[in-house]
């Protein structure tokens, strides 16, 4: 599958919609998706309309993950990295095995992302979410203890904290399947 087709489908665009958005004819888009490399004005207009770097459309085979361009100090930037979403999903789900052992729920995704060579924005966010949860979980637990409510409240609080992480992991797994992105993520990266 061509890079253009991968990126276009990730952004849920038809060839006709991309044609309207970029000003490039449908026939030209079809030729590029059939294997012709875009050049010059065509390359510039496609990369601008898809909000990606031009090099992403000229790269060789592989799976593409695009990060939408954002304005930062009047400069537009974008990250294009290779990503295998089945491996990313496995990296995300590896945290479920260790939700009751907080340091391991961070180490498992780190080790798997290194093993699978999936060091990209999505895996960084998976690890960042786990780090934040690992920091906040004991704080919430201690606050619950200091409230000195019923003894059964402590058990309910512990179960709620663990289940909250499981829910976050499962929601993100669903997001990776359907949208090729995390549904619960931070606006910043801890790592």
Residues 6+ apart with CB under 8 A from 49: 18, 21, 22, 23
* Confidence category of residue 64, pLDDT binned at 50, 70, 90: very low
- For residue 68, what pLDDT is reported? 43
Same domain, 129 and 115: yes
CA angle 99, 103, 108 (to 5 degrees): 75
Give the integer Cα–Cα distance in Å for 147 and 41. Answer: 65
Residue with tokens 């289940």: 163
Same domain, 67 and 99: no
Residue 131 is part of which domain span? Answer: 85-179
* Confidence category of residue 56, pLDDT binned at 50, 70, 90: confident
Same domain, 94 and 169: yes
Which of 67-81, 155-169, 173-187 has the least mean pLDDT? 67-81
* Domain count across the chain: 2
Is 19:26 a contact under the CB 8 Å cutoff? yes
Same domain, 144 and 104: yes
Quickly count helices (H) and strands (E) in the chain: 9, 4
Task: Specify the CATH number for the domain of residue 78.
Answer: 1.10.260.40
Same domain, 91 and 172: yes
Q: What is the pTM of this model?
A: 0.61
Which position has the higher pLDDT, 89 or 66? 89
Q: What is the pLDDT of residues 91-133, one digit of tens each?
A: 999 999 999 988 899 999 999 999 998 888 899 999 999 999 9
């Amino acid at each position: 599958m061509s890079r253009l087709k991968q990126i276009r489908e990730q952004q849920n665009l038809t060839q006709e919609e991309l044609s309207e958005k970029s000003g490039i004819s449908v026939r030209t888009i079809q030729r590029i998706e059939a294997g012709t490399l875009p050049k010059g004005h065509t390359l510039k207009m496609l990369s601008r309309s898809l909000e990606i770097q031009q090099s992403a459309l000229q790269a060789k085979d592989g799976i593409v993950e695009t990060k939408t361009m954002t304005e930062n100090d009047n400069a537009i930037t974008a990250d294009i990295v290779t990503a295998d979403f089945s491996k990313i999903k496995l990296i995300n789900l590896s945290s479920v095995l260790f939700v009751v052992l907080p340091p391991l729920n961070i180490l498992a995704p780190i080790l798997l992302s290194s093993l699978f060579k999936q060091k990209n924005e999505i895996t960084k966010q998976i690890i960042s979410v786990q780090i934040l949860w690992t920091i906040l979980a004991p704080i919430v637990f201690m606050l619950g203890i200091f409230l000195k409510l019923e003894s059964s409240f402590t058990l309910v609080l512990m179960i709620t904290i663990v289940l909250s992480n499981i829910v976050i992991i499962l929601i993100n797994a669903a997001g990776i399947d359907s949208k090729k992105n995390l549904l619960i993520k931070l606006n910043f990266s801890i790592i």
